[in-house]
Amino acid sequence: MDQVLGQVLRNAVWERLDMLTDLANRADAQSLVSVARSELPRLTEAWRAMLKMHEPDERGDCPTCSTRWHRCKAPCSVWQVAHEHLVAGGLAPQQQSATDSRLQGRRKSPISAHPAPTAAETTGRHALVNPRRAVTA
């Protein structure tokens, strides 16, 4: 059941990001100002919360990315992506980053060895559950 809930939550986030992207690309100026006033504070707080979880500990390791057997030195990939999109991305906005390419490729085609789900196996723009994977309760 946790896998189903996790997938539902991930799909809701992807749908929200898709909606915001569509608004940014298609909305008129007045609508964009309204959306920016309501959404930018929410997005910046989300970034802050996520980055706070990835702040390096006293040894310089990311506590979230590190495991018992493998320590992940800061800056971890979350901080690298944040810098790329929030700081460096402003320098060259027309270039698509390598991270963007990987993420878009992941969303458009499955990474796993499983074949893509059929239309009957999906709901909305994003699949709720991959029925080929066993779901354990």
Instruction: List the structure tokens of 129.
Output: 């559950």
Domain ranges within the chain, ordered by starting residue: 51-88
Instruction: List the structure tokens of 3.
Output: 């896998």
The rounded average pLDDT for each run of 10 residues, N- to C-terminus, in the chain (137 residues) is 90 95 92 93 96 96 95 94 88 52 46 41 45 42
| pLDDT for res 79 | 95
Per residue in 16-49, pLDDT (tens digit) is: 999 999 999 999 999 999 999 999 999 999 999 9
Q: DSSP states of 97-118 as a string?
A: PHHHHHHHHHHHS-SSSSPPPP
Q: Which of 103, 114, 46 is nearest to 77 (CA)?
A: 103
| pLDDT for res 112 | 36
| pLDDT for res 106 | 46
The reply to whether the predicted model has a pTM over 0.85 is no
| pLDDT for res 89 | 79
Q: Is 90 exposed, middle or buried (0-12, 13-18, 19+ CB in 10 A)?
A: exposed
